[in-house]
Chain A
């Protein structure tokens, strides 16, 4: 048989081969080893955070993720809370009359990111907006305020109808954040403040950039450009950290905490923990007759093993908490624990109350610590004879059913930055009114000295714990993974912030 020239089929195969070779060449070029950990030593920082807020308007939205980017970095409060709880002037210093009724704020010279000057008009504007805020933790700050007066361009006088610790505390929190006149309109998409970083481009679902503000009134931060990437999958974030794509993961809330040992073992990385202001707690529906008998509630509290929960749901990054004090370093916290872990006591209380075979539905959200808490609680309560059925919900559904206008749940567990005064009568979503708590707490707010207030608040939170409608389990530690060469991470939090000001590369 004559030899034929290569047939079209074989020519086709050869063509395929050449295409493959060409692709391989392109790929090899692309695979040139990259500079991993490219940011080290530069003034660029790349960090990630697992949660992105729907928008940046904190006067309306309650997402703590907003604080992580804005608080102290972009927008500043008048006063700054220190680690020991004292207040330091940031945008203003203050004086208060001995009767606690008149505050005079002397403003610091500062500029906003839109180049306008910070003056008393901005303070008045900000306060006016916050008084109208639908968020109680912001608007209630001004409950005792009877008059706000501009004395001159750099002095503001606030007169109260009664002493109010809440007002002073508010000045170092969200209600004290200074916006420029008209700033609320652009807050949701492009916040403007006096902070050391100006808000740059926000690509929803991807990342947000902040840039060093060269006209900042204080010490300028080390970093010029900080990119905050929203990486929801914590394992992906940890991989990116290990590969050197990012330098810091701000606060892991889910399964990323389980990789702590691997991160600790890597000499290029470090695990940083700070006390946080997130508390996990169980809430019982006060409208439900099942829980009317206090012995039933006490039994539930006695069945909780907080050590197990700290390890099982938070990989050890949590402190047991019997009292609803948030953050845990507040002076009215104590070791008082009305119902410690005692399964036998729980069982006998249930028997006394005639509730031997209690069936309870536990509603929880299916992200973050929800599933782990549900498992642990089902176990622990089951061990004392309470039969728990879990009801998992997507976040949107959970917010609607439990925290919505007509709460529909029996027992639930959630974690949040709520402070105990969220439960003042009518008791928020738990519908629980505890008169001793309300009385002591309201008296505390009207106290003139801080010590008086502290003693009364202690009374209040203890009474609240005794009633056992809302049972705290643990106080979270905020866990951050970072490049080991990154220094200056603050050892405490005042508002769920991620303070970028002190960060720098160690030599």
Chain B
């Protein structure tokens, strides 16, 4: 068992490193470097050469990579070239926002999707189930940024209920933090709910036809109660899988929402760093994000054992075999 755990950890770190190497190479294949960005449109060739020298951009690629790697091992993610800010500090201060967004979206989406999916499955044969299905399709079709702009236009500009953007950190003002997160979470949840609800619905429908439902009804449950009682647990496993995959997307894939709501999150940091050719920022940030996603998947693998007794018992049997 321990060997399995060790192997998983090694694979995890190995994957993150290989990913970082790919990012390292890709970034250097792009034309332009951070010196041209810092100096801007009026840069003279001498100025560029001097700045490149100063920033260490003239080191060989292997040297740059290993310098960065050794820094990582010491816990030093490096500094940005232009503004000289500490990358670890910057990532840490943005994590609060990104986590709040992702976790908030997933929680809201999971709860609503469970309710909608169960309802839709229970009423699959009449118009109520069909209506949920149609709404889910619409939800998937709506682009997130469009939903975001509509929400801002209605709720912020016209009604003045919520701010149109910007982020108030939790440490500064918890109510302000909630207010600044409501609209972005809503915008992100619309497609997420639609996606998750369909999975829930199909899992529940599967459960409806199982033998143990008939057994439960024989014991005195009504069909809806039986389906909900037994089906929810099974649907949750599917939900967990999809949610974990979506979490990865949410960590760094919310760039558009972060732009529209002027939220200082990891997605914005990443895309700005790529545009500014801040190689070290991109490498370190991608490495951290990859680690987070891989760790998350690892944790989810373990939690399957908790949710699904079959997995728990089969693995125990295997280890003894």
Contacts and interface: CB of A to CB of B under 8 A. Distances in A.
Interface of A: 1-2, 4, 7-10, 12-13, 16, 19-20, 26-27, 29-31, 33-34, 36, 54-55, 60-63, 134-137, 188-189, 202-206, 229, 231-233, 235-236, 239-240, 242-245, 394-401, 403-405, 414, 416, 418, 422
B41 A416 contact: yes
Nearest to B84: A189
A188 B264 CA distance: 21
Is chain B's binding surface mostly helix, strand, loop or mixed? helix
B220 A1 contact: yes
Given A239-B156, A414-B41, A205 B178 contact: no
A241 B160 CA distance: 12
A397 B119 CA distance: 53
A33 B163 contact: no
A30 B32 CA distance: 46
A137 B37 CA distance: 18
B161 A34 contact: yes
Given A240-B164, A400-B32, A61 B39 contact: yes
Given A9-B232, A20-B111, A54-B38, A34 B163 contact: yes
Interface of B: 30-34, 36-48, 50-51, 80-85, 90, 111, 114-115, 118, 149, 152-153, 156-157, 160-166, 175, 178-179, 182, 220-221, 225-226, 228-230, 232, 259-262, 264, 268-269, 272, 275-277
A204 B276 CA distance: 13
A30 B178 contact: yes
Contact of A397 (B31, B111, B164, B220): B31
A418 B76 CA distance: 40
A204 B153 contact: no
A235 B48 CA distance: 34
A393 to B, nearest CB: 8
Nearest to B36: A399
Contacts of A54: 34, 37-38, 81-83, 276
Contacts of A418: 41-42
A334 to B, nearest CB: 26
B114 A205 contact: no
Contact of A33 (B90, B160, B259): B160
Given A55-B38, A243-B163, A9 B228 contact: yes
A10 B153 contact: no
Specify which of A54, A203, A235, A414 lies most central, judged by the most chain B CB atoms within 10 Å of its CB: A54
A54 B165 CA distance: 23
Given A33-B160, A399-B37, A235 B149 contact: yes
A397 B274 CA distance: 12
B55 to A, nearest CB: 12
B220 A36 contact: no
A330 B17 CA distance: 57
A429 to B, nearest CB: 9
Contact of A62 (B42, B85, B179): B42
Given A236-B262, A399-B36, A36 B80 contact: no
Contact of A12 (B36, B83, B232): B232
Contacts of B50: 134
Given A13-B228, A416-B41, A245 B259 contact: no
Contacts of B268: 205
Q: Choose among B40, B118, B179 the residue with the greatest number of A CB atoms under 10 Å from its CB.
A: B40
Contact of A400 (B33, B44, B83): B33
B262 to A, nearest CB: 5
A404 B43 CA distance: 7
Given A27-B182, A396-B33, A398-B32, 15 more contacts: A8-B229, A9-B229, A31-B179, A55-B84, A60-B38, A134-B47, A134-B50, A135-B42, A188-B84, A236-B259, A236-B261, A240-B165, A245-B166, A396-B37, A399-B37
B44 A134 contact: yes
B32 A397 contact: yes
Nearest to A27: B182
A27 B85 CA distance: 36
A203 B268 CA distance: 14
A54 B37 CA distance: 7
Contacts of A397: 30-32
Contact of B32 (A9, A20, A31, A399): A399
Nearest to A133: B47
B229 A7 contact: yes
B103 to A, nearest CB: 14
A30 B162 CA distance: 9
Contacts of A405: 45, 48
A19 B234 CA distance: 21
A33 B161 contact: yes
B241 to A, nearest CB: 20
Contact of A240 (B44, B48, B51, B166): B166
Given A233-B259, A404-B36, A136 B44 contact: yes
